Amino acid sequence: MLLRPMTLADVDQVEEIEQVSFPTPWPKNAFHYELTHNRHALCWVAEWNEPGQPPVVVADIVVWLIIDEAHIGTLAVRPGYRGQGIGERLLAQALLESARAGATHALLEVRASNRVAQNLYRKFGFEQVGIRTAYYSDTQEDALLMTLPALDADRLAELAQPG
Ligand SMILES: CC(C)(COP(=O)(O)OP(=O)(O)OC[C@H]1O[C@@H](n2cnc3c(N)ncnc32)[C@H](O)[C@@H]1OP(=O)(O)O)[C@@H](O)C(=O)NCCC(=O)NCCS
């Protein structure tokens, strides 16, 4: 599996992943905008390679770099590829790239019901620091606001490795 920056050629597959991952997925043009107009956006994908098969984009992440802060905008793994460490590696790589670009800490919003994602974030050291009430307009669900106060480049580099 290869972790690499997202390109415009990936956007169709990224949209597919988002469609099956979220009640209100980001539309294709949102990724197009991040790639072409937002110089503060860090957009990466995980690409799965099987011998003799075309490569498949299996996960995507967008992080906004705002001075010293990395704000995770979206992260999703294709359903058939979940539970094998891909989300963890891609998140680690994106946070590592964020640290290299000057971010010292990270934050994100996650649906209150999304225990799987919360587990992933807690594994990295993210802690809940607040609740945004009815943050998701589709279901009126609350968001947990989680922060990671310090980006540890050595640990992130380890988490980004296979195995
Ligand atoms: C959340 C998501 C990105 C995790 O990606 P993934 O590749 O399946 O996760 P990984 O295999 O890398 O697992 C990393 C950690 O996540 C947590 N986790 C993953 N699957 C889990 C499950 N089924 N139940 C509980 N915790 C789970 C665990 O803490 C796991 O660490 P561990 O293996 O040491 O226990 C993926 O489930 C997904 O795309 N979900 C839908 C979209 C979404 O919710 N995105 C997050 C928005 S905030």
Domain boundaries, the chain: 2-159
Classify 2-159 by CATH class: alpha beta
d(C-alpha 108, C-alpha 96), whole Å: 16
Distance 86 CA to ligand 1 centre (A): 9
According to the model, what pLDDT value does residue 70 have? 98
Atom of ligand 1 nearest to the CA of 89: 12
Ligand 1 first shell, C-beta below 6 A: 21, 75-77, 82-88, 110, 114, 116-117, 119-120, 123
For the stretch 53-80, pLDDT in tens is 999 999 999 999 999 999 999 999 999 9
According to the model, what pLDDT value does residue 163 have? 78
- 3-class secondary structure for 63-122? EEEECCEEEEEEEEECHHHCCCCHHHHHHHHHHHHHHHCCCCEEEEEEECCCHHHHHHHH
For the stretch 38-52, pLDDT in tens is 999 999 999 999 999
Instruction: For the chain, state the CA radius of gyration.
Output: 15
For the stretch 6-18, pLDDT in tens is 999 999 999 999 9
Ligand 1 pocket test: which of 120, 136, 156 has the largest number of ligand atoms within 8 Å of its C-beta? 120
Q: Is the pTM of this model over 0.75?
A: yes
Helix (H) or strand (E) holding 128: strand 127-136
